[in-house]
Amino acid sequence: MRPYLLKGHERPLTQVKYNREGDLLVSCAKNLQPCLWSAEDGRRIGTYEGHNGAIWTCDITWDSDRLITGSADQTVRIWDLPTGKELFQIRHREPCRAVKLSAGERFLAATSDAFIESPPAIHIYKFAENIEDQTATAAIEWTVPKGRVTRVFWTDCNRKLITSHDGGILRRWDVETGALLQEQQVHEDAIQDMQMSPDETHVITASLDKTARLIDVDTFEVMKTYKTGRFVQSAAISPLFDHVVMGGGQDASQVTTTAAQAGGFEARFFHKIFQEEFGRVRGHFGPINTVAFHPSGKSFTTGGEDGYVRLHHMDMDYFTTKFF
């Protein structure tokens, strides 16, 4: 498997995301310009210029006409995805950590970190079809207990939100009232990433407790645990097979003190049901911060602390080998 090595960022990657059809790939990093790539051959199509801080997260609309980014510069921005033009800016008083559009894209959920005096919070905005109607005032917002909100998803036909937190906790919220419905400790350390399964019945969480876990959306019951022995920064579920992939590695601040191999920077494939590892893909020379599966499950992308995005198309072996 020869990956495309995409060099568009000089700083650590924070999130990579495919659009629904899987022809485009957006990468966000701690430098100021998110990039848009062709998911087929890794050509860079363009960048989105305007942010003034690290971009933590992004989301893409159903029709791939808008890109939403959340940044440490305390703004959430809406971009025209094909042209790279900035359309709208929602200004917070705090850095924005996670964004997610609701199904149907009438609403946008954004989470903000604690900053100076403000506690962390969740904000719900109306997401206007015509950009002229877009407002920067939240339809509803509420504060959450101490700690970072790392990812957010809409569930139960947009009635509820689930959020992952850096205390290893999952929380469920009522969207209309902001009431906390459920709280569950599922990891022993911070949850760094959470990704939804294609059928939206379960999520995979990646944690600094060196495991990734498969968790039922409805009950927050931990169904599977994938032990890696190293910090897990990101994990994704294959839409094609019963496979999951996870990335991570030694703490970035420690990397220079050891040999490259010692860091454990490979992307690791586990069988989703048997919880057994069956493959590794190496290449990054820093921890992997984010992984994403192509919507077809035939390729996947990793973004590392080293500033590179690696776009892998699976070899034939991957499809023909019976791993278990």
Partner 1 sequence: MVQSEEYDPYEVAKQLYPDLPQGFPYDNFDLEELILPPGDDMGIKSDDDDVRDEDVQTQSGFGSCIVIQNLPKAPEEKYEKLMGVVRTIASKLGDVRENGIFMPLDDATKTTKGFAFVEMARKEDADAALSDERFINGYQLDKNHKLTLSRFDDFDKYAKVPDEYVQPEPVAYKQPENLHSWLADKYGRDQYVIRHGDNTAVCFNDGKRSRAEVAYQREYWTESFVQWSPQGTMLATMHRQGMAVWGGPNFTRINRFGHQNVRLIDFSPNEKYILSYTSHEPATARDSFHVLINVWDVRSGKQLRKFEGPVDEYAVGSSAGPNGALKWPVFKWAGGRDDLFFARLGRGKISIYECPSMTMLGKESLKLDGVQDFEWSPVEPVLAAYSAEQGNQPARIVLIKVPEKTEMRQKNMLNVSDVKLFWHPQGTYLAVKVEAWTKTKKSTITSFQIFCVKDKDVPLEVFELKNNKERVLNFAWEPKGHRFAVVHGDGPRPNISFFSMRDDKGRLGVRELKMLESRACNAISWSPQGRIIVLAGLKNFNGQLEFFNVDEMETMATAEHFMATDVEWDPTGRYVATVVSHVQQMENGVKIWSFGGRELYSSQRDKLYQFSWRPRMPSLLPAEKEAEIAKNLKQYTKRYDEEDEQLLQQADADVLQERQRALDEWKAYCESRRNYAALQMDFKRELYGPRFAEKEYTIQKVMVEQVVDQKEEPYSTK
Contact residues for partner 1, defined by CB under 8 A = 21, 23, 40, 62-63, 82-83, 103-104, 145, 157-158, 199-202, 209-210, 216-218, 223, 227-231, 242, 249-251, 254, 259, 261-262, 264, 272-274, 324
Nearer to partner 1, 41 or 133 (CB): 41
SS3 77: strand
* CB of 23 vs partner 1, minimal distance in Å: 6
Q: How many CB atoms lie within 10 A of CB 83?
A: 11
Phi, psi of 315 (to 5 degrees): -75, 165
CB-CB contact of 28 with 67 (8 Å): no
Q: Give residues with Cβ within 8 angstroms of 177, minimum separation 6.
A: 140
The side-by-side arrangement of strands in the sheet containing 149-155 is: 149-155, 160-165, 169-174, 180-185
* CB of 61 vs partner 1, minimal distance in Å: 11
Nearer to partner 1, 53 or 82 (CB): 82
Nearer to partner 1, 137 or 256 (CB): 256
Nearer to partner 1, 52 or 254 (CB): 254
What secondary structure does DSSP assign to 194-222, as a single string? EEE-TTSSEEEEEETTSEEEEEETTT--E
Nearer to partner 1, 10 or 199 (CB): 199
In whole angstroms, give the CA distance from residue 135 to residue 315. Answer: 47
* CB of 123 vs partner 1, minimal distance in Å: 21
* CB of 182 vs partner 1, minimal distance in Å: 16
Q: Give residues with Cβ within 8 angstroms of 68, minimum separation 6.
A: 58, 59, 60, 61, 76, 77, 78, 79, 99, 101, 108
Nearer to partner 1, 62 or 319 (CB): 62
* CB of 273 vs partner 1, minimal distance in Å: 5
Question: Which is nearest to 45 in space by CA: 81, 3, 79?
Answer: 81
> And the tokens for 107?
């609403």
Helix (H) or strand (E) holding 123: strand 121-126
* CB of 300 vs partner 1, minimal distance in Å: 19
* CB of 25 vs partner 1, minimal distance in Å: 14
Nearer to partner 1, 75 or 250 (CB): 250
